[in-house]
Amino acid sequence: MENLPLEGLRVVEFSHMVMGPSTGAILADLGADVVKVEPLGGDQTRRLLGSGSGYFPMFNRNKRSICIDLKSAAGLETAKRLVNGADVLIENFRPGALAELGLGPEAFEDSNPGLVYYSAKGFLSGPYEKRASLDEVAQMMGGLAYMTGPAGRPLRAGASVIDITGGMFGVIGILAALHRRDRDGKGGTVRSSLYETTAYMVGQHMAQMAVTGHAARPMPERISAWAIYDVFETAREGELLFVGVVSDGQWQSFTKAFDLGPVGSDPAYAKNNDRVLARDVIVPIVRDIMARHTRAELLEKLEGAGVAFAPITRPEDLFDDLHLNANGSLVELTLNDGRAVKLPTTPVEMDGELPSVRHDLPRPGEDSEQILKEFGFGDAEIAALIGSNAVAAASGAAS
């Protein structure tokens, strides 16, 4: 992508895990210079196991790394100078953690009045705001886990959807604050949170209750708005397929592509709501048809019919996805141990192009010296900071 929209924007990021780093990753993909401040030895996220092992490589491309000991006076002063030279600060530590170090928003009101200070938190202002939170906590108490699992078996979504969506709201808030700054020259504070993000996502179910007087049922038990809107078995075991027929026009196309017998031509089923009421009649016929074809055969017919469909795949199947590889959605990165990997870029196409990789995944402190120079530190200052271990240069720690 040329002429990156956020080129020239300086961001200093104090964050770990997913929510804060995802905010920084989106800004970085869109052209911002994002300086990731890590503790000596690197962000602990680099060393997570299991489900956390993908956090760092996914959300830290196009950033530069500097390792600073914030517990030392020299390191803390270095961090303050970086923030004073930045447009945006990102942080997602426990409430008050940076303020205790002297890096809260009030510390920069005079020295950098244009600073946009963004905090990614568990809760916004209110009775819960000092509570610790996690993506899973928000999903559980915000109703999303209830809606995802069967009744009595709350189930979190299979990805960090609240962390990432909360980070996206953070980007929206940051860009809005920067737009306001263009008018009056003042920065300000921006916060987004896990809990309120979850509430926003289940708002449609709250509205359903308000409109109908009936509480929304968990997704496995929901009353669908469409007759054909389900996962179907095909002729080959394990090759599942989702099909959604969501308009009267799609119903006509579907019945032309597949022979549903008298049901397909019966005018009693021409309208969506009538089909929903006859779901017990229609769906068994469709299940029988799907079970007599391979998934490949069905995909071809469904695409020709212009009906919504999806093969049920696993995340690892996306590495070889034809579409993602053709349009540049998967970008090439190098893990810190030297292995190559392809991961999704920010899914925003501008002027026909998707964001690419300008800066590979950084090693801890890889860019420390260059960052300090660009922020106005002299050679002697840099040498003293590194010599005192207030700042660390590149190390070999892997992500």
Task: Name the band, by pLDDT with cuts 50, 70 and 90, for residue 206.
Answer: very high
Question: Considering the chain, what is the average pLDDT of its residues?
Answer: 96
Domain CATH code at residue 363? 3.40.50.10540
Is 207 inside any structural domain?
no
- Each residue of 176-188: pLDDT tens digit? 999 999 999 999 9
Tell me, yes or no, whether 174 and 247 share the same domain.
no
φ, ψ (nearest 5 deg) of residue 343: -135, 155
pLDDT of residue 395: 61
- Which of 285, 316, 347 is the last residue before a domain boundary? 316
Rounded CA-CA distance 247/255 in Å is: 12
Residue of higher predicted confidence among 394 and 73: 73
Q: Residue 132 to residues 135, 302, 389: CA-CA distances in angstroms?
A: 11, 47, 31
pLDDT exceeds 70 at position 396: no
Angle (nearest 5°) at CA 311 between 324 and 357: 15
Rounded CA-CA distance 200/363 in Å is: 36
Is 185 inside any structural domain?
yes
Burial class (CB in 10 A: 0-12, 13-18, 19+), 219: middle
Domain count, the chain: 2
Is 2 inside any structural domain?
no
What mean pLDDT comes out for the span 68-82? Answer: 98
Is 215 inside any structural domain?
no
Q: Which domain holds residue 291?
A: 224-316
Tell me, yes or no, whether 345 and 293 share the same domain.
no
Rounded CA-CA distance 26/10 in Å is: 13
What mean pLDDT comes out for the span 248-252? Answer: 97
- Which of 316, 346, 372 is the last residue before a domain boundary? 316
- Each residue of 264-310: pLDDT tens digit? 999 999 999 999 999 999 999 999 999 999 999 999 999 999 999 99
Rounded CA-CA distance 95/99 in Å is: 9
Helix axis angle, 73-84 to 379-387, nearest 10°: 140
pLDDT of residue 3: 85
pLDDT of residue 397: 42
* The one-letter amino acid at 323: H
- pTM flag (> 0.85): yes
